[in-house]
Amino acid sequence: MPQLRILLVSLALAVPSTACTTVALIEPVSADITLIADISPLQKPSAAYCKETREKGLATGEASLASLTDMLSGKASSEGAYWRQIGADKGTPAIVVTRVRNDMKATATGLDQLTKLAQTLIKDQPPTRADVTEFERALIHARQARDSLSDAFVQVNKRSESEYQISLELTLLDEALARARSAADELVALRAPDGAAAPPAIGL
């Protein structure tokens, strides 16, 4: 009997310990699920926008010192450039321009949609560092897309009987970029520590 009593006491002590261990194992999983659910509605659309512009050949997303130096020195390679991909140097000007205009409109519309999401986020909740980072990445892609579209018009103008006014053709995108820059400045300002001067958004 004494042996049986010792066994029962041991089992009774073991049960709470096991239960606590189970709870401890479950809690981290719940925390992970909460973190995933808390991702803002701005981050995924921004990432998708960047991916789409890259897939169209409008942007690379790269902004390294080496690539900037090549661009400023005129050494940047045109291999893989958007205007080459769509045949802006060979295709019928009217057909190429239609393609460029459609891509420009899609780029501007997509950026405006992101800007509206950013403005809604600003009103509803404090932006996270990831919100600011992803939105600024989208701005970089949009600015690179603008350059690619401009280059395409330059190539078309070399062969077209009538010259296309590039600044007018890209007005829709330029206006979208201005609105996006303003929203980016607000996001950055809200992320700045109290009493500190917030740096402006990337100069795009």
pLDDT in tens, the chain (204 residues): 555 454 444 544 444 444 444 333 333 443 433 344 456 789 999 999 999 999 999 999 876 444 555 555 555 557 789 999 999 999 999 999 999 999 999 999 999 999 999 999 999 988 999 999 999 999 999 999 999 999 999 999 999 999 999 999 999 999 999 999 999 999 999 985 543 444 555 555
Nearest to 88 by CA among 53, 58, 54, 49: 58
Q: Of all residues in the chain, what percent are helix, strand and coil, respectively (each to 5)? A: 75, 0, 25
DSSP-based three-state secondary structure for 161: coil
Residue with tokens 């050949």: 57
Percent of the chain at pLDDT exceeding 90: 60
Q: How far apart are CA 39 and CA 32, in angstroms?
A: 11
Q: Write the burial class of residue 155 (CB in 10 Å: 0-12 exposed, 13-18 middle, 19+ buried).
A: buried
CA distance 61 to 51: 9
Helix (H) or strand (E) segment spanning residue 11 = helix 2-37
Using the CB atoms, write b or e for 105-123: b if 16+ within 10 Å.
Answer: ebbbebbbebbebbeebbe
For 95-102, the CB contacts below 8 A with 24+ separation are: 96/152, 96/156, 97/153, 97/156, 97/164, 100/149, 100/152, 100/153, 100/156, 100/169, 101/169
- Six token digits for residue 133: 């980072």
